[in-house]
Amino acid sequence: MTTFAAVLAQRLRQDPGKPLVTFYDHATGERVELSTTTWANWVAKAGSLLVDELGLERGDRIAVDLPPHWLGTVFLGAAWSAGLAVVPVDDDGLAAVVCGPDTLERWGPQAADLVVLACALLPLGVRFAEPLPAGVHDVGVEIWSQPDAFVAWDPATPDDLAHAGPGGELDQAALWTAAAAGRLSGGGRLLSVADPVAEPMTLSEPLALGGSLVLVARAEPQELEATYVAEHATARFPA
């Protein structure tokens, strides 16, 4: 399987109710767990928002300028489902950016030139408490009206660029071939303190291999081992 849509479809057939992404923020005590089905619903809503609502097209380039967060994994999946390329924030060809409260000041003034979506990063994915700058889309408002299923009218192909970063570029075929060859076998759980937007294998490998991601933001060293044990993790990133 060499596209995100094929990988996710298989996972939904095999393990729809199994946890796929578990998110911790040690600074706030927040914990969010998304099953494969719930995560796929969020991905579908985000994909519909990007494509059907905001007009992005296969091959467009999008930056996800969020701290490590479960919504970052959602927008990775949404981009890949639509054939968008996830690229660094300094990319010259950006068509869209997903930002958070800490980066809104940078991206808000650019909403006239590119699609800007802002995530409040509050529990349950809710809206910002205050109005956003003109032209900025509040994900916590606009995502809820989107459907729970998304089928791209121009589906991604194995040759479409999926991710670009300091380590190079990966098309969809390379991304999912590498994920399928990973070491997280037998439904293992990967505990990671790395941003999956920067390290996409922390998401793609669990998805492709029947495992799950335990993503920890603002990790406290003294709590990390307890989280590893509590979540029955079997691997770490970084190792």
- DSSP H or E stretch at residue 64: strand 61-65
- DSSP H or E stretch at residue 72: helix 70-82
Which pairing describes strands 212-217 and 137-138: parallel, antiparallel, or unpaired? unpaired
CA distance 204 to 197: 11
pLDDT tens for the chain, residues 1 to 239: 899 999 999 999 999 999 999 999 999 999 999 999 999 999 999 999 999 999 999 999 999 999 999 999 999 999 999 999 999 999 999 999 999 999 999 999 999 999 999 999 999 899 999 999 999 999 999 999 999 999 999 999 999 999 999 889 999 999 999 999 998 877 899 999 999 999 999 999 999 999 999 999 999 999 999 999 999 999 999 98
Q: What is the pLDDT of residue 187?
A: 84
- Output the six-digit token pair for 16: 């729809």
CA distance 53 to 209: 32
Q: What is the pLDDT of residue 239?
A: 85
Q: What is the pLDDT of residue 79?
A: 98
Q: What residue has token string 């849509």?
A: 5
**pTM here?**
0.97
What residues does each domain of the chain span? 4-237
- Bridge partners, residue 125, by sequence: none
DSSP H helices, 125-171, are: 139-142
Q: What is the pLDDT of residue 135?
A: 97
Q: What is the pLDDT of residue 150?
A: 96
Q: Which fold does the domain 4-237 belong to in CATH?
A: Rossmann fold (3.40.50)
Q: What is the dihedral of CA 66, 119, 174, 151, to 10 degrees?
A: 180
CA distance 32 to 176: 26
